[in-house]
Amino acid sequence: MAAQGRGCRLPLLLLVLVLTVLVLPPPAAAQPPPAALRAGHAVSSLPAAAAAPRTRYLLYDVNPPEGFNLRRDVYIRIASLLKTLLKSDNWVLVLPPWGRLYHWQSPDILQVRLPWSEFFDLPSLNRNIPVIEYEQFLAESGGPFIEQIYVLQGYAEGWKEGTWEEKIDERPCIDQLMYSKDKHEYYRGWFWGYEETRGLNVSCLSVQGSASIVAPILLKNTSAQSVMLDRAENLLHDHYGGRDYWNTRRSMVFAKHLRVAGDEFRNRYLQSTDEADKTHYNEDWTQMKVRMGTALGGPYLGVHLRRKDFIWGHREDVPSLQGAVKKIHSLLEMLKLERVFVATDAVEEEVELLKKLLPEMVRFEPSWEELELYKDGGLAVIDQWICAHARYFIGTSVSTFSFRIHEEREILGFDPKTTYNRFCGEKETNCEQPTHWKIVY
């Protein structure tokens, strides 16, 4: 009887199993994961109630020959674009690694794939716009892929005289692309020295206008999660010299270790301290608003003397070494100062001549260990920081290195008369001095 009862229950169990299989949904593996759980989103970062909005990544690069200080200016333009994008979507700026710059010529030092934290304070940048290093982008996005690359260019027909018109159009590429397809149909390029990085799509945009003109393209014409703007120097400032410009510029605080190195040098060789010089610095730039003319500066003259390519590229408005020394001696006498700090890219022979002609000269000359630690970019920052704290500064005509020192001194609260000065060429008939761009809070 017992055996007969078990036999009767087997068909019933089979029936239940069949019905269960029919009712159950397909296995979870057959369904794509929710968008918020795909590459770029960590589960731990999601709210309990709902998935976080998708993060989109904006990357950019600049024409390879451009130097450190022009690239800093391009960052300000791109930051303005990001602020426009953030009004409509969740974007973050990926900081382009530093490397392979014209002025970074010290041998035997690896100077590629350098993060921004080598030169700038990232928390300060993030108080203005959301930024991440490229390495963090690689970790978040799930691999070394950039979905869409736009190469920015001018218009083949050029600019026609008349009314200025801002415009942007997708056009055929004018110059040969700096990207090539590999066997997998991915685009390979420089990508800041990250050889494993690939681009999925590349196209060209002819642009004539300010940075935010690109926003509609990024918001409406592409749904790519990661978008790179190459040749970003082709974009103009949205509002040069306005509050937005200065907020971004003020957020570009130098890395603490470089400022400390500069401060220690000032104290040791130039008898210069923030207390005595009235150049107090707030680590939170949003809380630093200094009245113009309150900074005194250290008891030394600050000089930026650009040489090398400027000698032949800007012949009329760049002085000879003898002419520069004559002006420096005149300023030392007028200001009753005994020391001059000189930042220069002069070749060794010219530096030796300067030492003979200008015994009052002081320079930051790093040891091998300091050079390896700070890199060429860090040494440039230290030079700028020391010049920015001088009692009086004189720079080189149309040099972005000098421009950045002007801005640092403006932030510190110096009298414009002690800042916006430049050397004149011996044959220059009209030696126009730099324009004063007043800080806006």
What is the C-alpha to C-alpha distance for residues 281 and 291, in angstroms, rounded to an integer? 13
Q: Which two tokens stand for residue 47?
A: 């709210």
Q: How many helices (H) and strands (E) would you count in the chain?
A: 13, 13
348-357 and 321-335 are packed helices; what angle lies between their axes, rounded to 10 degrees? Answer: 40
> Strand locations in 195-327, DSSP E?
198-208, 226-230, 298-305
The answer to whether 66 and 233 are in contact (CB under 8 A) is yes
Q: Which two tokens stand for residue 429?
A: 């008939």
> Strand locations in 291-419, DSSP E?
298-305, 340-344, 361-362, 390-394
Q: Around Cβ 186, how many Cβ atoms within 10 Å?
A: 17
Tokens 């110096």 belong to which residue? 414
Q: Are strands 226-230 and 187-188 parallel, antiparallel or unpaired?
A: unpaired
The answer to whether 21 and 123 are in contact (CB under 8 A) is no
**Catalytic annotation, pick one of 66, 147, 233, 370:** 66
What is the C-alpha to C-alpha distance for residues 284 and 15, in angstroms, rounded to an integer? 71
Nearest-Å Rg of the Cα atoms of the chain is 29
What is the C-alpha to C-alpha distance for residues 371 and 163, in angstroms, rounded to an integer? 50
68-86 and 400-412 are packed helices; what angle lies between their axes, rounded to 10 degrees? Answer: 60
How many residues are present in the chain? 441
At 21, phi and psi to the nearest 5?
-60, -40
Q: Is 66 a catalytic residue?
A: yes
Q: Which two tokens stand for residue 57?
A: 């990544």
Q: Comparing C-alpha atoms, which of 57, 51, 56 is closest to residue 34?
A: 51
What is the amino acid identity at position 368? Answer: W
The answer to whether 343 and 305 are in contact (CB under 8 A) is yes
Q: Can you tell me whether residue 290 is helix, strand or coil?
A: coil
Q: Which two tokens stand for residue 318?
A: 């760049």
CA torsion, ordered 353, 358, 364, 365, to nearest 10 deg: 30
Residues with catalytic roles? 66
